[in-house]
Homo-oligomer: A and B are copies of this chain.
Amino acid sequence: MAKPTADGMIAEPETSSRRASGRAEAPAVPIGPDELIDAYRRVRGVTELLCEPLGTEDYVIQTMPDVSPTKWHLAHTTWFFEQFILQDHSPGRYEPVNSLYDYLFNSYYNAVGPRHCRPRRGLISRPTVQEVLEYRRIVDDRIGRLLQCPDGAILETIAPLITLGIQHEQQHQELMITDIKHVFSSNPLLPAYREHEPDCGETAVVPLSMDWVDVPEGVYEIGTNAPKNGRPFAYDNETPRHRVFLEAFRLATCLVRNAEFLQFIQDGGYQRPEHWLSFGWATVTAEKCQCPLYWFREGGDAGPWLQYTLAGAREIDPGEPVCHLSYFEADAFARWAGARLPTEAEWEVAASAEPLVGHFADSLIFHPRQVSHANPGKLKQIFGDVWEWTSSSYEAYPGFEPPPGAVGEYNAKFMCNQYVLRGGSCATPVGHVRRTYRNFFPPDARWQFSGIRLAKDA
């Protein structure tokens, strides 16, 4: 079986330059049908490839309301294409594959109609996995036929939607990984999803001298303008490009490691309310939270710290970036460390000249690498490895306008009580993330690969 690699995914060229420079625009060449169907097929293939290690039973489970069954992800991403491209743009009256799938596989689009209640996605044994794969085949065929002989007008309309569907499917690829990790970790048998060798380069952990880059005060531009002809792709929530004033600040060159986080734990970090936001303290108290998600101690309170990874349970590696933290934990750690989290504008400005490379899902490792000590004074691991919590509430940029219709529900309606994360993780498809990319989760979410990069006032 072929392994998916970086070139098995859509690379999305993107540039963003620093300090009110204006955006170096990628030429907005219209995307052609061949290129489109090619991209479509590669992403659809990667999704199914991620399922290869699973047994049929594994596709069905939903271990908490935030988690969706793998089967649901497979069907929902397909429904997205069926609903927004086939249903809305096929010539003549469209015959849906199954008229109940609208109900079962709509995630949250009120404009499309009523839908199955999210926390009950794991209570549906039918359609079976085979039937869902068949559903994928049929929709893939229909999309293929639609793109074979499109008239130009239709292509102009559907190309951005297919691109959106591809990006959407990549987001669900990441969720499939984080969701199956939650599913397997909830099973006392602690099954592995896929074996891999842990990092072994830097087993001796050197003390992490806190190393910072300095960014001067000024008016900067962040965000991006809406794509023309569908490219370069960006989500609506990244638009428009706009100016912000930043005071001078410092950003840590490295991610926070397990070694430092263990110090926080050993210093009573989870027992001392002065480090925590009020709502965070209420949450860790109510949930009896004493360590990052997926950490546990073997043999009780004095045993060694282990963590469940997608390759099974193993000891904590002190040199790896700490991950599976809530915003509350990231914020509490930062306060304990005498620092703070960066704002999303600070992060984006600092990252604007960084190359868009990193450790993404194409490695098939699904676990962050050790923190790099190379090149002091330079930002490292800005992209990939772990999503980095910012202190910024997820809000509309000035001048933001969601697109009309159901796809306008994609991002805008979640702009409340969520916090922005930046940079992508080891479970993010390569090519999916951008410097301007805004991921967002509620402050108590822990099941994503979420970690910490510290900031400070200058």
> Can you report 22 A-B residue pairs in the complex whose CB atoms are below 8 A from each other?
A55-B126, A56-B128, A57-B57, A57-B59, A57-B128, A57-B129, A60-B125, A61-B122, A61-B124, A62-B123, A108-B278, A123-B186, A124-B187, A126-B191, A219-B219, A242-B247, A243-B247, A249-B398, A274-B409, A281-B413, A391-B395, A398-B457
Residue of B nearest to A61 (CB): B125
CB atoms of A279 and B219 under 8 A apart: no
Pick the contact of A279 from B61, B103, B243, B416 — CB < 8 Å? B416
CB within 8 Å for A55 and B125 given contacts A100-B188, A242-B247, A247-B398: yes
Q: Answer yes or no: A252 CB below 8 A from chain B CBs.
A: no
The 7 closest A-B pairs by CB, nearest first: A393-B393, A110-B273, A245-B245, A57-B125, A56-B56, A278-B413, A58-B125
Q: Answer yes or no: A277 CB below 8 A from chain B CBs.
A: yes
Contact with B along A157-196 (1 / 0, CB 8 A): 0000000000000000000000000010011110100000
Residue of B nearest to A108 (CB): B278
CB within 8 Å for A110 and B274 given contacts A60-B57, A126-B57: yes
Residue of B nearest to A391 (CB): B395
Please measure, in the bound complex, the distance between the C-alpha atom of A55 and the C-alpha atom of B125, giving whole angstroms.
8
Contacts A56-B56, A243-B245 aside, 18 further interface pairs with beta carbons under 8 A come to A55-B126, A56-B128, A57-B60, A60-B125, A63-B123, A104-B188, A108-B278, A110-B281, A111-B273, A247-B399, A274-B409, A276-B413, A279-B414, A279-B416, A328-B416, A340-B396, A393-B393, A399-B457
Report the minimum CB–CB distance from A3 to chain B (whole Å): 24
Residue of B nearest to A340 (CB): B396
CB atoms of B187 and A125 under 8 A apart: yes
Q: Answer yes or no: A443 CB below 8 A from chain B CBs.
A: yes
Q: Answer yes or no: A417 CB below 8 A from chain B CBs.
A: yes
Q: Answer yes or no: A244 CB below 8 A from chain B CBs.
A: yes
CB within 8 Å for A278 and B416 given contacts A58-B125, A128-B57: yes
Report the minimum CB–CB distance from A91 to chain B (whole Å): 28
- Tell me which residues from 35 to 73 in chain A have a Cβ below 8 Å from any Cβ of chain B: 55-63, 71
Q: Which residues of B have CB within 8 Å of A103?
A: 188
Please measure, in the bound complex, the distance between the C-alpha atom of A110 and the C-alpha atom of B273, giving whole angstroms.
7
Please measure, in the bound complex, the distance between the C-alpha atom of A110 and the C-alpha atom of B285, giving whole angstroms.
13
Q: Answer yes or no: A127 CB below 8 A from chain B CBs.
A: yes
Pick the contact of A188 from B116, B187, B245, B278 — CB < 8 Å? B116
Contact with B along A107-121 (1 / 0, CB 8 A): 010110000100010
Q: Answer yes or no: A280 CB below 8 A from chain B CBs.
A: yes
Q: Which residues of B have CB within 8 Å of A104?
A: 188-189
Contact with B along A264-282 (1 / 0, CB 8 A): 0000000001101111110
Q: Which residues of B have CB within 8 Å of A246?
A: 398
CB atoms of A395 and B393 under 8 A apart: yes
Pick the contact of A274 from B62, B111, B280, B416 — CB < 8 Å? B111
Please measure, in the bound complex, the distance between the C-alpha atom of A416 and the C-alpha atom of B392, giving whole angstroms.
10
Residue of B nearest to A116 (CB): B188
CB within 8 Å for A414 and B61 given contacts A126-B191, A245-B219, A247-B399: no
